[in-house]
Amino acid sequence: MKSRQENQFGRLITLEGGEGAGKSTQARRLAAALKERGHGVVMTREPGGSPGAEDVRKLLVEGEPGRWSPLSETLLLFAARVDHIERTIGPALSAGSWVICDRFSDSTYAYQGVARGLARETIRRIEAVSLGDFKPHLTLILDLPPQDGLARATARDAVASRFEQFDLAFHDRLRQAFLDLARRAPERCAVIDAIGSEDEVAQRIWMTVAARLKV
């Protein structure tokens, strides 16, 4: 697995946050802004982003909340993530494209780790074996109260996903987990206030990307 430092031109930006934070919408807005400035952009998501990883996604997002244990989920996620990097992210970065990814490994630390109780060290060891030192160049954490995010998700989705069905305490832990991740890695992570209009949040994101990655 190549480290991110070997990719001299492509950049990997990931968007993280709880349910209904607006990651997919803002990923599209950011991709459009980068394309307007002449950058090649590949948009993708996790779990998923490659044919094999999309097959795994179905196992993870469908069914009852207790379908998988936290460890089982984590192993499935990293299996999908390896395929995603090998078949989609890595080739795009090597070709010089910017990659915008809706979720990445930080979500595993938040969802399966803090929110579902799997030890951080267990996840770290699986990540080290699976990804080596591969990391995003920039991670944008969209933050808003869980009640607001769940209300957005309910309005958006005809059928709630597995993770939307977990209780509010789960989503409170999830929010705190993402904020803690940002404090652990301030050189890579930036917290974005996701309260406000789509345009307002998009502007906050663009200012952060422009400042951090010198676009």
Per-residue model confidence as pLDDT tens digits over 177-189: 999 999 999 999 9
Query: Which has more confidence, 41 or 161?
Result: 41
Residue 72 has pLDDT above 50, yes or no: yes
Query: Which has more confidence, 63 or 53?
Result: 53
Residue 136 has pLDDT above 70, yes or no: yes
Amino acid at 124: R
pLDDT digit string, tens, across residues 110-132: 989 998 899 999 999 999 999 99
Q: Which residue has the tokens 């802004």?
A: 33
Residue 4 has pLDDT above 50, yes or no: no
| pLDDT given at position 115 | 86
Please state the separation of Cα 120 from the chain's center in Å. 17
| pLDDT given at position 94 | 95
Structure tokens at 15: 């968007």
pLDDT tier at 151, thresholds 50, 70, 90: confident
Residue 157 has pLDDT above 70, yes or no: no
Sheet hosting strand 12-17, strand order edge to edge: 41-45, 98-102, 12-17, 138-143, 189-193
Architecture of the domain delimited by 4-213? 3-Layer(aba) Sandwich (3.40)
| pLDDT given at position 5 | 42
Residue 149 has pLDDT above 90, yes or no: no
pLDDT digit string, tens, across residues 165-175: 667 788 888 99
pLDDT tier at 6, thresholds 50, 70, 90: very low
d(CA 160, CA 147): 15
| pLDDT given at position 110 | 94
User: Contact 83/77 with Cβ under 8 angstroms?
Assistant: no
Structure tokens at 148: 């607001």
